Chain A
């Protein structure tokens, strides 16, 4: 039967129930994957990245958990018991050696937990110091990246979305900060803030962190956000022109809403990747500053300050240098490789 184009005639064939064969077309062969699942699958296929992730998780978990059940404290000088003279037999113990009182206890049949890496020059258990130092270095890297992320995200998205004069001014500031030699500025700021922050922090929670730590975070917040801001701005600039943004604007959505609900979720993979790559560089910088004596405050250890302290006894106690050196290189290496893997897995534009 010939159908007239403009008639209201309905084709009855359209209403015949589907046959089994036709139904089979509609069956989902496998559940649809989300962007996240797809990326994770690709990440896990990448052996190097998966191994690095595994390593990072193990190092992080052990640096958090070990101090809870380890019998020694990172700042406890073992030869120092209240009311008694200093027992120097605890200083500079080689791995798996014991101090005098401990040897007596062993002779009495007691069990004494071994000093796996020995003790340092002040009789502190070196293993727990390395663990604690790892914890501090990781924490600094993580929080510094979060600070960078928050500032970079805010400034970058505002600059990219609003555009115009605001964008030009922000980008000129970014240009200047970007061309500042960062490490030199970090050293300058850290060395001065170390002195000037003390009075400001007195009595606040931040005092416990130590002036060096606070100045470190401040410096990161002041200097390192620029590349993140540039990146986000670029993303927002290209996303801003998409139709769904126009649709949202047409329905009366406010700028903040559009940025938060439409633009940022779409550049989330870029953000995660560059944050992941920011962590090792923050750890790098922290250890560098600690090595120069501008990092964490004593007696708190960080991997950099442990390596720097070990430099004095390098002739007799070389392992004390090698241990933190290996740990720090391992952390930075695996974070870098993991970040590369993340980029390959989650950045669809780089997919080959």
Chain B
């Protein structure tokens, strides 16, 4: 690794840290901008009770002081304060609880999408312009155009209501099958398209022709020479894929009643539980920013030909 790459990585990390700070700041001030404060939606309460509540949550102090306390707590202790609506629970506990299910869901979906997407994309590229290729591409294009909530509800309709193969409730292990499929279909379709085009690109390269001319076995060309290089663009999709899975899980967990972080987030919005909204936004945003960072750096490290800006 030369100094230029190192500089790029340092610059990229600095940008990521800056982004996380912007997320925390924006989240803080945007939620503080709600008129009347977070307790406005409550039923009419006496002035004293209101003051007591605000004192308890530190809302009586000046905004800047609240901001710096919040920032310090988040950065040093990962402490997002107590939840407003879930009595006696800390925001971080709610998030950690939700994460247990959501991480499982997301990881399996991502793995499924990668494995199937790469296989389907390579098959389509190797059988270029055949019926198989066209079929795969049509299905992939259709899936890319379908919002996750449509995909989820249609799967629910087909495989839980019409043919009750899987339970509609996602709180059990079998119940997670449909949410996982829903979440993986879009990234799978995307990776299929990505792999196909980059595989076609690689197969046209000179070194593949050289390998063929030398008489290397076709399978060895595909796995030893072509596949490795055609997967480089897929690395760039890691970040966006995670972002898609995170945001997709918001609705998918809602549809299938999966007890994950996505559902906690959505219900915190309807309940106007501001500390929980802030906490989940920040945690999920950090996840996405970190994943983007990792995939960007990996991309540059794996392919040294890429020019660094």
Contacts and interface: CB of A to CB of B under 8 A. Distances in A.
A333 B139 CA distance: 12
A188 interface: yes
Interface in B257-306: 265-266, 269-270, 272, 277, 281, 284-285, 288-289, 292
A210 to B, nearest CB: 17
Given A195-B35, A288-B251, A180 B269 contact: no
Contacts of A195: 34-35, 40, 272
Interface string A304-322: 1001101100110010011
Contacts of A175: 15
A89 B252 CA distance: 34
Nearest to A335: B145
Given A187-B269, A188-B27, A321 B284 contact: no
Contacts of B27: 188
A238 interface: no
Interface stretch (A34-42, A93-101, A324-332): A324-332
B55 interface: no
Q: Is the interface of A mostly helix, strand, loop or mixed?
A: helix
A318 B142 contact: no
Contacts, number: 121
A291 to B, nearest CB: 5
Interface of B: 15-16, 18-19, 22-23, 26-27, 30-31, 33-35, 40, 141-142, 144-150, 153-154, 156-157, 161-162, 243, 246-247, 250-251, 254-255, 265-266, 269-270, 272, 277, 281, 284-285, 288-289, 292
14 contacts: A176-B19, A181-B23, A181-B243, A184-B288, A185-B26, A185-B281, A188-B30, A196-B34, A292-B250, A294-B269, A307-B153, A318-B161, A321-B157, A328-B150
Given A181-B289, A183-B247, 14 more contacts: A176-B18, A176-B22, A179-B19, A184-B284, A185-B285, A188-B30, A287-B149, A311-B153, A314-B161, A315-B161, A329-B145, A329-B150, A333-B141, A337-B141
Q: Across chains A and B, which 10 residue pairs bring their CB atoms closest together, nearest first?
A: A333-B145, A183-B247, A181-B288, A325-B150, A332-B145, A191-B269, A291-B149, A179-B19, A181-B285, A329-B146
